[in-house]
Amino acid sequence: MDAAQEYRETAARFTQLVDGVPDDATWDARSPVPAWTARDVVGHLVGWFPSFLSGGAGVDLPSGPDVGTDPAGAWRTMSDGVQALLDDPATAGKELVNPYIGTVPLPEAVSRFFTTDVFLHTWDLARATGQDERLDPDRCAALLEGMLPLDELLRTSGQYGPRVDVAEDADPQTRLLAFIGRDVAAPRQATEA
């Protein structure tokens, strides 16, 4: 699957969850990420990626509404911009340069860093907002297989919590989420006003 189609499918699922948030109060529900609400999950995605693209590839995404007042609008504006970027044939020839990852073809950089982040945070948003938490098991297994050799590097990056112990025969989603520090056995948090 190419980067544009992969993002289209991943973003569609996340957008479905964004659109499924039942009311404004639910945006303040705690997420599985410590100190984050459902709104913060969207804020994280909308917050870091535009500067990553701008600084590394000179690409500016459209700016949307403020996440604090309109998380759904902020997400849709940025996500539509990412999709338009990936659908543009000229993107295939662009590169992203970053001091930590070197020079990477732009579609690959979007796929490796942003599409994967959206996929992982899909569970966080679903859990925070009481929606369907199921992730694609094949994708979970493939991501976990790719991340396992990078365990120490990922852990020291500060981007992942401590690994959670799960049974060896746990399903791929549970194993992946435990690897990135999510405790799927923890109860959902109550909405905070």
**Amino acid sitting at position 134:** R
Residue-wise pLDDT for 91-111, tens only, equals 999 999 998 889 999 999 999
- pLDDT higher at 158 or 20: 20
Does the pLDDT at position 74 exceed 60?
A: yes
The pLDDT of residue 152: 81
**Domains, the chain, ranges and CATH?**
3-133 (1.20.120)
Does the pLDDT at position 29 exceed 70?
A: yes
SS (H, E, C) 95-133: EEEECCCEEEEHHHHHHHHHHHHHHHHHHHHHHHHCCCC
Does the pLDDT at position 68 exceed 70?
A: yes
Instruction: Choose the weakest-confidence range: 13-17, 40-44, 48-52, 186-190.
Output: 186-190
In the predicted model, what is the mean pLDDT of residues 65-73? 97
Residue-wise pLDDT for 108-151, tens only, equals 999 999 999 999 999 999 999 999 999 999 999 999 999 988 88
Look up the pTM and report it.
Answer: 0.92
